Amino acid sequence: ESNMEPGIKMAICAVAGPLSGFCLLCMLHVIPRIAICGLFLSLCNLLPIFPLDGCRILVGVLSFMLEERAVRIILYYIECVTFAVITILVIYAIFRLNLGIIPLIALIVLFVKKKYLANNRLSRYNMNK
């Protein structure tokens, strides 16, 4: 059994998802569309929003350094800032880039999912094990 902290284990496991998408960039000359899709999927997966891998990485690293209550507070504010930035980008995309209603629908789905999962956000991480 490893003597590694549970938070660090979770962060290392969470890095594997985005890392696999970045590894597809090695195949850019062979399968360019799949490599670009993998890149964008990995970048989106690194957002610090529950339940994405970016949130798991952040929780893992912060839980190694701080107590659970502090992690919850920091994660809450980081998610709020992230959602604010995403909202600004969606509004910009709708009005300046004329992308239509699709980005707005994606934003609404993201907000609904966040509200639905907000009550049990960190309970799934089992930070105390």
Q: Is residue 121 very low, low, confident or very high in pLDDT (cuts 50, 70, 90)?
A: low
Record the tokens describing residue 128, joined without a space.
């105390």
Model confidence, pTM: 0.70
Q: Tokens 């891998």 belong to which residue?
A: 53
CA pair distance 90, 109, nearest whole angstrom: 13
Nearest alpha-carbon partner for 55 in 36, 71, 37: 71
When pLDDT is averaged across residues 74-84 and rounded to a whole number, the result is 88
Q: Is the C-alpha dihedral spanning 87, 92, 98, 99 positive or negative? A: negative
Cβ-based neighbours of 30, under 8 Å, separated by 6 or more: none
**Burial per residue of 48-71, b for 16 or more beta-carbon CB atoms within 10 angstroms, e otherwise:** bbbebbbbbbbbbbbbbeeeeeeb
CB atoms within 10 A of CB 116: 9
With beta carbons less than 8 A apart as the criterion, state whether 18 and 25 touch: no
List pLDDT tens digits, range 32-57.
888 888 888 899 889 888 778 888 89
Record the tokens describing residue 44, joined without a space.
């989106």
pLDDT for the residue 63: 86
Chain-centre distance for alpha carbon 94 = 23
Cβ-based neighbours of 99, under 8 Å, separated by 6 or more: 93
